[in-house]
Amino acid sequence: MEIKKILKITAALSTAITLTSCGSGTAEDTETVDAKEAYGCNVLNVYNWGEYIGEEVISNFESQYNAKVNYDMFDSNESMYTKLLGGNSYDVLVPSDYMIERLIKEGLLQELDKDAITNIDALDPVVVEMQKVYDPDLSYSIPYFRGSVGIVYNTEHVDPAEVEEKGWEILRDPKYKGRVFMYDSQRDSFMIAFKALGYSMNTENEQEIEEAFEWLKELHNTVDPAYVTDEVIDAMIYPDAVNYKDLAVVYSGDAAYIMSENENMAYYEPQQGTNIWSDGMVIPKNASCPGLANAFINYILTYDASYDNSITVGYTSSNKQVKDDIASGDYEGISAYVPRDGYEKDEVFRFNEVLVQKLSERWTKVKIAE
Amino acid sequence: MKSFSKMVYPYVLWAIIMIVVPMMMIVLYAFTVKGNAVLTFQFTFDNFVRFFSDPVFPGVLWRSLKLAVITTLICIAAGYPTAYVMAKLKPNSQAVIVLLITLPMWINMLVRTYAWRGILAHFALSGEAKVYVGMVYNFLPFMILQIYTSLSKIDPNLITAAHDLGADNIQTFRRVILPLSLSGVVSGITLVFLPAVSSFFIPKLLGGGQYVLIGNLIEDYFISTGDWNFGSSISLIMAVIILISMYVTRRLDRYTAQGDDD
Assess A3–B contact: CB distance below 8 Å, yes or no. Answer: no
Q: pLDDT grade, residue B2 (50/70/90)?
A: low
pLDDT confidence of residue A148: 96
Question: What residues contact A313, with CB distance under 8 A and at least 6 apart?
Answer: A51, A52, A53, A54, A145, A253, A257
Residue A333 covered by a domain: no
CB-based burial label for B39 (10 Å; 0-12, 13-18, 19+)? exposed
Are B220 and A240 within 8 A, CB to CB?
no
Q: Where are the alpha helices (DSSP H) in chain B?
A: 2-5, 9-15, 21-30, 46-53, 56-88, 91-102, 109-120, 127-152, 156-164, 169-172, 178-198, 201-206, 214-219, 228-261
pLDDT confidence of residue B127: 82
Q: pLDDT grade, residue A333 (50/70/90)?
A: confident
Residues of chain B with Cβ-Cβ distance to A240 below 8 Å are: 121-122
CA angle A125, A130, A136 (to 5 degrees): 90
Answer left, alpha or beta for residue B191, where phi above 0 means left and psi between -120 and 50 means alpha.
alpha
Provide the 8-state DSSP code for A276. Answer: E
B205-224: average pLDDT:
83
Weakest-pLDDT range from A66-75, A209-218, B51-60, B138-147: B51-60
Residue A247 and residue A182 share a domain: yes
pLDDT confidence of residue A21: 43
What is the distance in angstroms between the Cα of A322 and the nearest Cα belonging to chain B? 34
pLDDT confidence of residue B39: 54
Residue A44 covered by a domain: yes
Domain of residue A83, residue span = 22-146+279-327
The interface residues of chain B toward chain A in range 13-52, judged by CB-CB distance below 8 A, are none
Residue A40 and residue A51 share a domain: yes
CB-based burial label for A296 (10 Å; 0-12, 13-18, 19+)? buried
For the B54-259 domain, the top CATH level (class) is mainly alpha
CB-based burial label for A103 (10 Å; 0-12, 13-18, 19+)? buried
Closest Cα in chain B to A184:
B209
Residues of chain B with Cβ-Cβ distance to A242 below 8 Å are: 121-124
Are A364 and B114 within 8 A, CB to CB?
no
Q: DSSP letters along A199-252, please?
A: --TT---HHHHHHHHHHHHHHHHHH--EEESTHHHHHHHS--SSS--SEEEEEH
Residue A14 has pLDDT above 70, yes or no: no
% of chain B surpassing 90 pLDDT: 42
CB-based burial label for B217 (10 Å; 0-12, 13-18, 19+)? buried
Residue A126 and residue A110 share a domain: yes
Q: Which CATH number belongs to the domain containing residue A216 in this structure?
A: 3.40.190.10
Q: What is the mean pLDDT of chain B?
A: 87
pLDDT confidence of residue B262: 42
Would you say the C-alpha torsion B30, B36, B41, B44 has a positive or negative sign? Answer: negative
Residue A32 and residue A130 share a domain: yes
pLDDT confidence of residue A69: 96
pLDDT confidence of residue A26: 46
Q: Domains in chain A: how many in total?
A: 2
ipTM: 0.72
Residue A228 has pLDDT above 90, yes or no: no
> How far, in Å, are A37, A69, A125, A320, B216 from residue A113 at the CA level?
18, 20, 20, 22, 41
Are A242 and B223 within 8 A, CB to CB?
no
Closest Cα in chain A to B218:
A364
Selected for mutation to probe chain B from A81, A223, A231, A243 (highest B CB count within 10 Å) is: A243
Are B122 and A228 within 8 A, CB to CB?
no
Residue A193 and residue A159 share a domain: yes
Residues of chain B with Cβ-Cβ distance to A186 below 8 Å are: 224
Q: Contact, B120 vs B135, CB < 8 A?
A: no
pTM of the predicted structure, to 2 decimals: 0.80
Q: Contact, B160 vs B35, CB < 8 A?
A: no
Q: pLDDT grade, residue B34 (50/70/90)?
A: low
Residue B52 has pLDDT above 50, yes or no: yes
Residue A283 and residue A216 share a domain: no
Question: A360-369 as b/e, with b when 16 or more CB fall inside 10 Å?
Answer: bbbbbbbbbe
% of chain A surpassing 90 pLDDT: 72
Residue A77 and residue A66 share a domain: yes
B73-88: average pLDDT:
95
Q: Contact, B211 vs B64, CB < 8 A?
A: no
- A118-143 confidence digits (pLDDT tens): 999 999 999 999 999 899 999 999 99
Residue A239 and residue A356 share a domain: yes
The partner residue sitting opposite B208, judged by closest CB among A186, A228, A242, is A228
Are B224 and A360 within 8 A, CB to CB?
yes
Are A361 and B225 within 8 A, CB to CB?
yes
A149-159: average pLDDT:
95
Residue A155 and residue A142 share a domain: no
CA atoms of B4 and B8, how far apart (whole Å) = 8
Q: What is the mean pLDDT of chain A?
A: 89
> How far, in Å, are A49, A79, A139, A202, A287 from residue A103 at the CA level?
17, 14, 13, 18, 14
Residue A3 covered by a domain: no
Residue A298 and residue A184 share a domain: no
Name the residue ranges covered by the structural domains of chain B: 54-259
Assess A357–B contact: CB distance below 8 Å, yes or no. Answer: yes
Residue A2 has pLDDT above 50, yes or no: no
Are A367 and B212 within 8 A, CB to CB?
yes
pLDDT confidence of residue A290: 95
> How far, in Å, are B24, B40, B58, B226 from residue B44 at the CA level?
16, 13, 20, 19
Closest Cα in chain B to A234:
B118
Closest Cα in chain A to B60:
A368
Are A76 and B121 within 8 A, CB to CB?
no
How many CA atoms within 13 Å lie on the side-chain side of A326? 31
Closest Cα in chain A to B34:
A357
Residue A285 and residue A270 share a domain: no
Selected for mutation to probe chain B from A185, A190, A357, A364 (highest B CB count within 10 Å) is: A364
B61-88: average pLDDT:
94
Residue B204 has pLDDT above 80, yes or no: yes
pLDDT confidence of residue A213: 96
The partner residue sitting opposite B209, judged by closest CB among A79, A226, A242, is A226
Provide the 8-state DSSP code for B5. Answer: H
Residue A75 and residue A100 share a domain: yes
Assess B104–A contact: CB distance below 8 Å, yes or no. Answer: no
pLDDT confidence of residue A120: 94
Assess A240–B contact: CB distance below 8 Å, yes or no. Answer: yes
CA atoms of B151 and B34, how far apart (whole Å) = 52
CA atoms of B226 and A364, how far apart (whole Å) = 13
